[in-house]
Amino acid sequence: MKKQNSIDLIVENLLKEFSKIKNFDLTQNDPMGNKFFNFVVRLVSEFNAYQNLFIQCYLPASRNSIIEAKREIKHSKYKDFFHINEEELKENYYETIRLGYVGAYHKYEGYIKRLLPLMDEFFKGLDFENEFIPLENYLRNEFDIVLKKTVNNFYITRKINWISNCVKHYDGFPVKEPIPKGFEYLNKEKKIQIESKEFKSDMEYLITHNNLMLSTFFLIGFHQFFGYEFSSIKNQLKPENQEEEKVIKMQKGLKLVIERTFEKKGIIQ
pLDDT in tens, 181-238: 888 889 999 999 999 899 999 998 998 898 889 889 989 988 988 777 766 666 666 6
CB neighbourhood size of 128 (10 A): 12
Q: How many domains does the chain have?
A: 1
Q: How far apart are CA 41 and CA 33, in angstroms?
A: 12
As a three-state string, the secondary structure of 36-61 is HHHHHHHHHHHHHHHHHHHHHHHHHH
pLDDT at 84 over 80: no
Residue 199 lies inside a defined structural domain of this protein: yes
Residue 210 lies inside a defined structural domain of this protein: yes
CB-CB contact of 199 with 97 (8 Å) = yes
HSE-up of residue 143 (Cα within 13 Å, Cβ side): 25
Residue 269 lies inside a defined structural domain of this protein: no
Residue 32 lies inside a defined structural domain of this protein: yes
Mean pLDDT of 81-102: 82
Residue 1 lies inside a defined structural domain of this protein: no
Q: Packing angle between helix 155-170 and helix 91-124, nearest 10 degrees? A: 130
CB-CB contact of 129 with 232 (8 Å) = yes
CB-CB contact of 160 with 104 (8 Å) = yes
SS3 195: coil
Residue 213 lies inside a defined structural domain of this protein: yes
Predicted local confidence at residue 7, as pLDDT: 60
Average pLDDT for the chain = 81
Residue 184 lies inside a defined structural domain of this protein: yes
Residue 268 lies inside a defined structural domain of this protein: no
pLDDT at 75 over 70: no
- pTM of the full predicted structure? 0.82
Q: How far apart are CA 27 and CA 113, in angstroms?
A: 24
**Structural domain of residue 196, as residue ranges?**
6-261
Helices (H) and strands (E) in the chain, counts: 11, 0
Q: How far apart are CA 105 and CA 158, in angstroms?
A: 9
pLDDT at 132 over 60: yes
pLDDT at 129 over 70: no
CB-CB contact of 159 with 180 (8 Å) = yes
Q: How far apart are CA 123 and CA 149, in angstroms?
A: 23
List pLDDT tens digits, range 8-50. Answer: 666 676 666 666 555 545 455 667 777 777 777 787 778 888 8
Nearest to 121 by CA among 132, 137, 109: 132
Q: How far apart are CA 231 and CA 193, in angstroms?
A: 59
Confidence of residue 269 (pLDDT cuts 50, 70, 90): very low
23 alpha carbon, distance to own chain's centre: 29
Nearest to 206 by CA among 38, 10, 61, 59: 10
